[in-house]
């Protein structure tokens, strides 16, 4: 039997290792991605991990995401449960997480990113190009609406809500196609439903799409849990999603704004590109910048924030705020590192 260690909450005298309580939404996708992280944490920590389901306003209110204040509505109830010590960790789709820090919480780990692309799921194997004129295409994302309209102004783009299975079912009912995230389809084993994978060059996806965030309390003292988080951290993913989300933050835009961003690391060079669209897709602004990566994990994150600031500043200089009705005001110092981005608790040298 494992002896309890007084200052280590990961052990108990009576029952062996204390389970790690992982908070998740109850949807099929949320449970699938949370279970994946749970399995990794269990292997890394040597402790059982139990899923604790939490219901958010986004799960019960069927209004459009834009009217609810964006996809951050899915995170609020989970975060309240973490602050209240009802769970030990949370798993979020990073694209759904607001860029503003939440008091008392921090991102403890960012596992390796899945496919960041969007996909089209259409009747008769159609692609965006071969959809019939006036075809009805469903999406709940203003960014995807703008991108579809930019490429095919004739399409009838329909605002939809619901889980992945609900959206897929509508392709056989009242819609000709839907646009979804490749990562989400992959995580529930339905990627075979995709009829076209949309290239990130013309169809940049939401900042952080395809990545997961494992959130913990900022004052977490469970040494076993912190060590396990270091093992599942993927430094290149944290770097790229930090850059993408910093563009969003500098533009002062919500996670449902018509903005696509892509960051990649190639031969120690970080390349960051972002596009801001008018809601109807008739106009857009794009900016790209790069930085040579060097130094510690924190130095590299600072570089990511700096280059993202330059991207946002150029977009604003070229009228992106007026185009998409954004409040962003990145000014002369906008390329300076934001001290709010850190390598995470104990993650100064995260695993590759």
10-residue mean pLDDT series, the chain (352 residues): 43 72 94 97 98 74 47 79 96 92 96 98 97 97 96 97 93 96 97 97 96 97 97 97 96 85 95 96 97 93 96 96 76 43 46 34
* CA-wise closest residue to 86 among 76, 94, 78: 78
Query: Active-site residue numbers?
Result: 95-96, 143-144, 161, 167, 255
Q: Can you tell me the distance from the alpha carbon of 226 to that of 45, in angstroms, rounded to the nearest whole number? A: 9
Q: What pLDDT does 252 receive? A: 85
Q: What pLDDT does 340 receive? A: 53
Cβ atoms of residues 116 and 151 within 8 Å: no
Q: Residue 159: is it exposed, middle or buried by C-beta count within 10 angstroms (0-12/13-18/19+)?
A: middle
HSE (side-chain half, CA atoms, 13 Å) at 39: 5
- Tokens 């900042």 locate to 207
Q: What pLDDT does 279 receive? A: 93
Q: What is the 3-state secondary structure (H, E, C) of the chain?
A: CCCCECCECCEECCCEECCEEEEECCCHHHHHHHHHHHHHHHHHHCCCEEEEECCCHHHHCCCCHHHHCCCCHHHHHHHHHHHCCCCCEEEEEHHHCCCCCCCCEEEEECCCCCCCCEEEEEHHHCCCCCCCCCCEEEECCHHHHHHHHHHCCCCEEEECCCCHHHHHHHHCCCCCEEEEEHHHHHHCCCHHHCCEECCCCCCCCCCCCCCEEEEEECCCCCHHHHHHHHHHCCHHHHHHHHHHHHHHHHCCCCCCCCEEEEEEEECCEEEEEEEEECCCCCCEEEEEEEEECCCCHHHHHHHHHHHHHHHHHHHHHCCHHHHHCCCCCCCCCCCCCCCCCCCCCCCCCCCC
Q: What pLDDT does 327 receive? A: 75
The residues near 342 (Cβ < 8 Å, ≥ 6 apart) are: 106, 298, 301
How long a stretch of residues is the chain?
A: 352
Q: Can you tell me the distance from the alpha carbon of 38 to that of 48, in angstroms, rounded to the nearest whole number? A: 9
User: To 10 degrees, the CA torsion angle through 57, 213, 292, 115?
Assistant: -90
Other CB atoms within 10 A of residue 136 CB: 17
Q: What pLDDT does 328 receive? A: 57
Q: Can you tell me the distance from the alpha carbon of 88 to that of 146, in angstroms, rounded to the nearest whole number? A: 38
Cβ atoms of residues 304 and 266 within 8 Å: no
Q: What pLDDT does 170 receive? A: 96
pTM for the whole thing?
Answer: 0.86
End-to-end CA distance of the chain: 34
Cβ atoms of residues 121 and 115 within 8 Å: no
């Amino acid at each position: 039997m494992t002896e309890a260690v007084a200052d280590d909450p990961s052990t108990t005298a009576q029952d062996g290792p204390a389970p790690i309580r992982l908070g998740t939404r109850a949807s099929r996708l949320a449970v699938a991605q949370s279970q994946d992280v749970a399995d990794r944490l269990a292997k890394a920590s040597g402790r059982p991990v139990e899923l604790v389901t939490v219901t958010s306003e986004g799960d019960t209110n069927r209004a459009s995401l834009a009217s609810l204040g964006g996809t951050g509505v899915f995170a609020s109830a989970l975060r309240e449960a973490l602050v209240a010590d009802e769970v030990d960790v949370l798993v979020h789709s990073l694209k759904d997480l607001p860029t503003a820090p939440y008091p008392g919480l921090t991102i403890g780990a960012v596992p390796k990113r899945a496919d960041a692309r969007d996909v089209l799921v259409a009747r008769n194997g159609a692609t965006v190009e071969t959809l019939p004129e006036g075809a009805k295409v469903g999406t709940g994302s203003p960014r995807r609406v703008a991108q579809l309209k930019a490429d095919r102004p004739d399409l009838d783009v329909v605002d939809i809500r619901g889980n992945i299975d609900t959206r897929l079912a509508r392709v056989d009912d009242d819609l000709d196609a839907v646009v979804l995230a490749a990562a989400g389809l992959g995580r529930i084993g339905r990627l075979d439903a995709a009829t076209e994978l949309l290239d990130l060059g013309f169809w940049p996806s939401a900042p952080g799409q395809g990545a997961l965030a494992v959130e913990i309390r900022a004052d977490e003292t469970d040494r076993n849990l912190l060590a396990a988080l270091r093992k599942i951290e993927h430094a290149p993913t944290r770097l790229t999603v930090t850059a993408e989300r910093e563009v969003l933050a500098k533009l002062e835009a919500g996670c449902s704004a018509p903005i696509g961003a892509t960051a990649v690391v190639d031969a120690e060079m970080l390349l960051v590109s972002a596009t801001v669209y008018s809601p109807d897709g008739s106009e857009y602004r794009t900016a790209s910048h790069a930085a040579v990566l060097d130094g510690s994990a924190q130095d590299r994150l600072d570089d990511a924030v700096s280059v993202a600031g330059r991207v946002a500043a150029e977009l604003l200089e070229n009228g992106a705020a007026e185009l998409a009705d954004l409040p962003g005001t990145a000014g002369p110092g906008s390329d300076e590192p934001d001290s709010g981005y850190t390598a995470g608790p104990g993650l100064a040298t995260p695993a590759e």
